[in-house]
Structures are given as structure tokens and as C-alpha cells.
Amino acid sequence: MTTPDEDAVLAANLAFYRAFAAGDVAAMETVWSPRVDVSCIHPGWQALVDRVAVMKSWRAILASPPAVRCLGARVFLEDKRAYVICYETVGDGMLVATNIFSLEDKVWRMIHHQAGPTRALQEVQPDETQHVH
């Protein structure tokens, strides 16, 4: 059972994956914080440490978005910051990801995303799967 705040963080996480899967640059821009310093580490990339660089990377990726799905999202909440650990299926691959959010004007905005390869998916209950369709 999750709290309303945890549900709101999971909804923000789902919005990120929906924008990712749809190749929706405008939606991706909305997900990310416009005020807090943001960072992103795509698999195999160097660390991107400002909004301009992060959004430029997403525009490049979303020009030809991969089939992506979020599985097993689990939220950790602490005051005005939260993070989600989840798995991403991308094509035939499996990644583990950490997504960090900041509460800004009652809306959870992403401030960090990092994904990397993993060997196996931990057991995921069906109700823990977030579908992006």
C-alpha cells in the first residue's frame, strides 16, 4: 500500500517513461525540473550535469525512441525529495535505473536519471509494474 505522496512520485516516474516511449520531447521537458540543477547518466555516456546538456541528450534519444518499459518501480520518499528504483526493458536489454525527484510547487519534477545494465530482474509482482502504453 502506498501513500498519496508516494503515488504522486510514481505518477511522475510513469510520466517520464511515457514521454520516453512516445518520443515526446515536450512531455520530457515537463518532467524535468526547470529550477533545480539536474543530472543524467545514460548507459555508456559521460555524466551530464546541467539542464541544457540533459535536454539535448533527450532530444537526440527521442528522435528515434527505443521500446522502453518500466518494471518494479519502488519509491523512497523523504520530505521534498524522492527517488524511484526500477528496471527498464529496452529492446531485448534490461537496465536498472534510479530516478530522483524534487517537489516543486506541489509537483514532483525529475532532477536525476541514471540507468545501467543488470544481469537479472528481481522478482516483480504484477501490481508493481508500470505500463507506459
- The pTM for the full model equals 0.89
| Residues 88-119 pLDDT 10s | 998 888 999 999 999 999 999 999 999 999 87
Q: Which CATH number fits domain 4-120: 3.90.1300.10, 3.10.450.50, 3.40.50.720, 3.30.200.20?
A: 3.10.450.50
| Residues 7-17 pLDDT 10s | 999 999 999 99
What is the rounded distance in angstroms from the CA atom of residue 95 to the CA atom of residue 89? 6
Task: Give the pLDDT band of residue 72 (cuts 50, 70, 90).
Answer: very high
DSSP 44-84: TSPPB-SHHHHHHHHHHHHTS---EEEEEEEEEEETTEEEE
Q: Are strands 39-41 and 68-78 parallel, antiparallel or unpaired?
A: unpaired
- Compute the average pLDDT of residues 38-49: 96
Q: Is 68 a residue whose pLDDT tops 90?
A: yes
